[in-house]
Amino acid sequence: AIEHSDVCILMLDATRGFESQDANIFWLAQRNRKGIVILVNKWDLVEKENNTAKAYEAAIRKEIEPFTDVPIIFVSALNKQRIYKAIETAVEVYNNRTKRIPTRQLNEVMLPIIENYPPPAIKGKYVKIKFCTQLPTPMPQFAFFANLPQYVKDPYRRFIENKLRENFDFKGVPIDVYFRQK
């Protein structure tokens, strides 16, 4: 079912917490590059204090690191609490997954960020990123063209991914960032 979907809604039992089977399903959906929404069901049965929801959400985000940009919604199917919000969020994640960013706008936003925070020099070689574009794929994939793409390491790749999320709202969707030879 995960392979044939665009957005996966992972429903957890609030009384049991985020179990290993939930984690396996989450990572399977993430590996298949699907949009993900996490629903915490039976929220009406949990004893609540001041920051119960925030603490619960923080615990889930800690389990799914580094992919923490996933919407988490607390619902109760029995009381029909926040059911429509769950569907609206799934549609929003689908729209984020199919979103296209014009190359001009992408370059106007990302190139100044890259200029201010360039990739670190490795072995005395400086990586210069000149141009970026979104690839024509069903999910968000971006190509950054550089003079020495083999020297761009994972921490900088994650930095670029976070800046894309920050500026273009890709909530709940995995992003692929590629560095290619100019």
Question: For 8-44, how does the pLDDT look when each residue is reduced to its tens digit (9 = 90+)?
Answer: 888 888 888 788 888 888 888 888 888 889 888 887 7
Residues sharing a CB contact under 8 Å with residue 45, sequence separation 6 or more, in sequence order? 14, 15
Per residue in 65-101, pLDDT tens?
877 788 888 888 778 888 888 889 889 988 888 888 8
Residues 93 and 115 in one domain: no
- How many domains does the chain divide into? 2
Q: What is the mean pLDDT of residues 128-154?
A: 88
Q: Which domain holds residue 128?
A: 103-181
pTM of the model: 0.81
Q: What is the mean pLDDT of residues 110-115?
A: 88
SS3 of residue 89 by DSSP: helix
Residues 71 and 114 in one domain: no
Among 67, 97, 127, the domain-final residue is: 97
**Distance in angstroms (rounded) separating the CA atoms of residues 150 and 142:** 16
Residues 6 and 69 in one domain: yes
- Check residue 142 and give its pLDDT: 92
Q: Can you say whether the dihedral through the CA atoms of 46, 52, 54, 55 is positive or negative? A: negative
Q: What is the CATH number of the domain that holds 132?
A: 3.30.300.20
Residues sharing a CB contact under 8 Å with residue 4, sequence separation 6 or more, in sequence order? none
